[in-house]
Amino acid sequence: MKLLKRLFCNNKEELSPSQELIARSKNVLMPLFEPQQVVPSHGEGCYIYDIQGKRYIDFAAGIAVNALGHNHPVMRDAAREQLDKIIHIPGNYLSEPKVRCAELLTTNSCFDQAFFCNSGAEAIEGAIKLSRKWAYETKGPECNEIIAFENAFHGRTMGAASITNKRSSQPFYAPYIDGIHFAVYNDIQSVEELVSDKTAAIFIEPIQGEGGIIPIEATFLKQLRALCDKKKIALVFDEIQAGMGRTGHFYAYQHHGIEPDIAALAKGLGGGFPIGALVAKKAFGNHFDAGAHGSTYSGNPLGTAISSAVLDHILSPGFLDNVREAGQYLYDGLAQIQADTDLIEDIRGLGLMIGVDFPSVKGADLIPLLQKNGMLATASGKRTLRLTPALIVTKDHIDEALEIIKTTLKEAVE
C-alpha cells in the first residue's frame, strides 16, 4: 500500500489549513479520535466541502445520521422557525413539537409511547432500565438478566458498553453491570441455552452496524420473537443506525414484520441534530412511572421540531420507495464491479445500509484512498467498508460513487 503511505505526505514546511487545524486540535482535545485528514467546512445535499474547497461525495452521512443530506431546507427552516420561539424547557413541560414528534414515531409503528433523550446510548440506557423495571414488576425482583449478542454495538455509556461485549477489549472500565450474557447472532440455539427464569430482556440489532453490516435472518428473528413470547421476555431492538428510513422502511423491524416490544432510536432521527428516543408498547412503557427515569433535555422544542421535520419528509409519499430503489441500484452497481474485477468479496445490507468486503484489503485502509479520490465512507467491523449515503441520494450520485470505488480498488492493489 505504497500509495496509502504517500497519500498525505507534505514536503513543504508550511502546513495546509487542514493540517494546521489537526495540529491545534491535538493540544486541546482528548485523544479519543484519530482525526481524519479531511476537515469539512460545509455541505450541500450529498456533498461535503473541506476547508480548502475540495468537494467530496458523502457516502458516510455522519455514520447514517444525515438522513436528508447536508443543509436541507426542511431542516434549516424548521430550526430557524423554532429558534425564534423557544429552544429549551424542562422535560416536565410540554411543547407542540415534542408531542407531535412522539405522534409521528408511534402512529407509524407498533409502538404506543416515546421518551426523548440526547443520543442512542442514552436510548439504550433507558431501554435497559425500562426492561428491567418491567421484569421486576411482572416477573419478580430476581428477573434482571439481559441477553445480547457477540459483535454487537449499543453505545459507550456503562450500561450500553456492558451489553456490547467490551469486557475483553476494554477491561479498564470494569466492573461492568452484572447479569449480561452473549449469544451468537442468527443462532437461536445459542440464545435458548442462555435463557432462564432470570432473563428480563433480549437486546438485538436488526442489522449489526459496527459488527460489519450483518442483517438478521428472517427465520432466526421469527424464532426469537416466539421464544420471547413463550418465556415472557422483553424483545428490544436497537434501531439507532438501521431505523428512520435507512433500510427502506420507516422502522427496520417493518422489513420482516416481526414486532419488538421496545426500541432505541437516534442517528437519522434528527438528521444531524443530536436527539435520541426510546419507544415502547404501552404494556412496557407504562412501567416508567413518574421519577423512574428522566433527562434535562428530554424532548426539547428545538430538537423535536427538527426531528418532526425530518420524519415528515421521510414519511412523505414515495420517499421510502426511492430509498429502496436507490439501495438496490447501489447494491447492483457493486455487484457489477464484483463480477467485472474480482476485487469485491462480499456485499451485504438492506436499503442504504450496505457493507462491502474485499479479498486483499481492509475497508479501513480504503478510507484515505477514497478521500483522495473525492469520496467519504466509513469502516465497520474488522474489514468492512460501510456505505450509508443520505436517503436523498440519486442514481447519478451512486454512479459517481461507484466510479470512485472502482478506481480506488484498482489503485489499492497496484
CATH assignment of the domain containing 369: 3.90.1150.10
Provide the percentage of residues in the chain whose pLDDT is more than 90: 93
CATH code for position 105: 3.40.640.10
* Bridge partners, residue 183, by sequence: 149
Strand order in the sheet with 145-149: 113-117, 276-280, 262-265, 234-238, 199-204, 145-149, 180-183
Quick one: pLDDT band at residue 13, thresholds 50, 70, 90?
low
Give dist(CA 95, CA 400) in Å, integer.
43
Are the beta carbons of 143 and 151 closer than 8 angstroms? no
Pick the last residue of a domain from 298, 314, 330.
314
Cell 487542514 locates to 18
The verdict on 217 and 154 lying in the same domain is: yes
Number of domains making up the chain: 2
Are 153 and 280 found together in one domain? yes
Portion of the chain with pLDDT greater than 70, in percent: 97
pLDDT of residue 212: 95
Which domain range does residue 387 map to? 2-65+319-412
Q: Which long-range contacts (CB under 8 A, 24 or more apart) does 101-108 make?
A: 101/299, 101/304, 101/305, 101/307, 101/308, 101/311, 102/299, 104/308, 104/311, 104/312, 104/315, 105/265, 105/277, 105/279, 105/311, 106/279, 108/250, 108/315
pLDDT value at residue 14: 86
Convert the pLDDT of each residue in 280-338 to its tens digit.
999 999 999 999 999 999 999 999 999 999 999 999 999 999 999 999 999 999 999 99
